[in-house]
Amino acid sequence: MTTPPQPLGIAVIGAGYWGPNLVRNAQATPGLRLRYLCDLDESRAKRVIGDYSTVATTGSLQQVLEDPAVDAVAIATPASTHYAVAMAALEAGKHVLVEKPLAPTFEEGRELVLAAERLGRVLMLDHTFCYTPTVQHLRSMVRGGEIGDLQYLDSVRINLGLVQPDVDVLWDLAPHDLSIMDAILPDDVTMVSVSAHGSDPVGAGHACVAHLTVHLSNGSLAHVHVNWLSPTKVRTIMVGGSARTVVWDDLSPTQRLSVYDRGVERLASDQLDAEGRAATIVSYRTGDMVAPALQDREALRGVMAEFAASITQGRAPLTDGWSGLRVLATLEAASESLGKQGTLVPIRGVDREDVR
């Protein structure tokens, strides 16, 4: 009789805003066993865990990393600490799940990716939205060719949000949209350059409103609007293709994904006479709208399940270190463009040959 595999021991590092969500989902994932919640303020960690839990709390990262019962860590500390904490965990032989962004700089992110490969550890980004049923379905449609050729992508992520003291709105909100783009784009379509414009109407010291225009390798454009100052909350992504257009409204409780068989088609010149060619070169297609029935489930549960599966199966997760590095490369290029008043900036290539 085959003995079932033992759950992987995991520690959550950071008991602030996101840490409790990681704790809850780690405890609900069959392939994981939560061993520790670690925070510099151990009393805060104790409040999260409660009085009757067998999960240990500690203020010492070193204690966690030296414990052989800990196979993996999930990092939910401030972005400025991601590199140091993740590198210490990798060098201690632990698999790593880290919040966005991967690291404060591209070079530090590069070091983490190469260290994970050298040490044979899984490095995964918690790009949570990529694990929603909606984005999973959208990824399947785009990469499977159901929308035809990709023509454009438009994303809006705005709300009356918390103005962060240490990062601008680009680094706070745009990683969500860029990670979704990275997950759904076909393998032969990449982000090649970006132009960014932003403003600081409230005197926060950095951009609170920003617009990104990303040039894709197939000649199409992607647009991202992020904003902390909007009185209304909007979370939409529109992906236009030559055959179908898909609209994702994340705030719709009943119809998050809508697929439209509507669009514009270019007429072949042999279909028109001389007068027709002078009058029009396109035709309009108006078809049905379909709303796929998608099972609702918590995305973070999918993140934890993918983390556990990638470790036990010895494979790369969907949002691996390379995907995190691609998002980081785009963010750095966008920041450079922002500082140059919207100048188009190339996004550095990210593959194994480029970063070595």
Task: Give the confidence band of 291 by pLDDT, cuts at 50, 70, 90.
Answer: confident
**Hey, which of 227-236, 260-269, 345-354 has the most confident mean pLDDT?**
227-236
pLDDT for the residue numbered 267: 65
In degrees and rounded to multiples of 5, residue 85 shows phi and psi of -70, -45
- % of the chain exceeding 70 in pLDDT: 91
pLDDT digits 0-9 by tens, 180-214: 999 999 999 999 999 999 999 999 999 999 999 99
What is the mean pLDDT of the segment spanning 107-112?
96
Tokens 């006479």: give the residue: 273
pLDDT for the residue numbered 352: 64
Task: Give the confidence band of 172 by pLDDT, cuts at 50, 70, 90.
Answer: very high
Whole-model pTM over 0.85: yes
pLDDT for the residue numbered 290: 87
pLDDT for the residue numbered 273: 55
Domain spans, the chain: 8-128+300-320, 130-296+329-355
Sign of CA dihedral 332, 336, 341, 342: negative
Tokens 């510099």: give the residue: 40
Q: CA 172 from chain center: how many Å?
A: 12
Instruction: Assess contact for 131 and 125: CB atoms under 8 A.
Output: no
Task: Give the confidence band of 353 by pLDDT, cuts at 50, 70, 90.
Answer: low
Amino acid at 95: H
Report the mean per-residue pLDDT for the chain: 91
Reply yes or no on whether the pLDDT at 329 is more than 60: yes
Reply yes or no on whether the pLDDT at 26 is more than 60: yes
Which residue did the predictor score with more confidence, 354 or 209? 209
Reply yes or no on whether the pLDDT at 262 is more than 80: no
pLDDT for the residue numbered 203: 93
> For residues 61 and 12, what is the distance between their CA atoms, to the nearest angstrom?
10
pLDDT for the residue numbered 284: 67
Contacting residues for 63 by C-beta, under 8 A, at least 6 apart: 36, 38
What tokens does 72 get? 């993996």
Task: Give the confidence band of 318 by pLDDT, cuts at 50, 70, 90.
Answer: very high
Reply yes or no on whether the pLDDT at 313 is more than 80: yes
What is the mean pLDDT of the segment spanning 39-67?
93
Reply yes or no on whether the pLDDT at 43 is more than 70: yes
- % of the chain exceeding 90 in pLDDT: 80
Other C-beta atoms lying within 10 Å of the C-beta of residue 305 = 17
Task: Give the confidence band of 287 by pLDDT, cuts at 50, 70, 90.
Answer: confident
Candidate CATH numbers 3.30.360.10, 3.90.1150.10, 3.60.20.40, 2.40.50.140; the one for domain 130-296+329-355: 3.30.360.10
Reply yes or no on whether the pLDDT at 2 is more than 60: no
**Identical fold at 8-128+300-320 and 130-296+329-355?**
no
Among 51-60, 129-138, 203-212, the minimum mean pLDDT is found in 51-60
- SS3 sequence, the chain? CCCCCCCEEEEEECCCCCHHHHHHHHHCCCCEEEEEEECCCHHHHHHHHCCCCCCEEECCHHHHHHCCCCCEEEECCCHHHHHHHHHHHHHCCCEEEECCCCCCCHHHHHHHHHHHHHHCCCEEECCHHHHCHHHHHHHHHHHCCCCCCEEEEEEEEEEECCCCCCCCHHHHHHHHHHHHHHHHCCCCCCEEEEEEEEECCCCCCCCCEEEEEEEECCCCEEEEEEECEEEEEEEEEEEEECCCEEEEECCCCCCCEEEEEEEEEECCHHHCCHHHHHHCCEEEEEEEEECCCCCCCCHHHHHHHHHHHHHHHCCCCCCEHHHHHHHHHHHHHHHHHHHCCCCCEECCCCCHHHHC
As to burial, measured by CB atoms within 10 angstroms (0-12 exposed, 13-18 middle, 19+ buried), residue 132 is buried
Instruction: Assess contact for 65 and 89: CB atoms under 8 A.
Output: yes
> For residues 81 and 83, what is the distance between their CA atoms, to the nearest angstrom?
6
Spell 215-247 as b/e; 16+ CB within 10 A means b. bbeeebebebbbbbbbeeeebbbbbbbeebbbb
Q: Domain 8-128+300-320 in CATH: superfamily?
A: NAD(P)-binding Rossmann-like Domain (3.40.50.720)
What is the mean pLDDT of the segment spanning 279-300?
78
What is the mean pLDDT of the segment spanning 58-80?
96
Contacting residues for 344 by C-beta, under 8 A, at least 6 apart: 193, 194, 195, 215, 337
Pair type for strands 245-249 and 257-266:
antiparallel
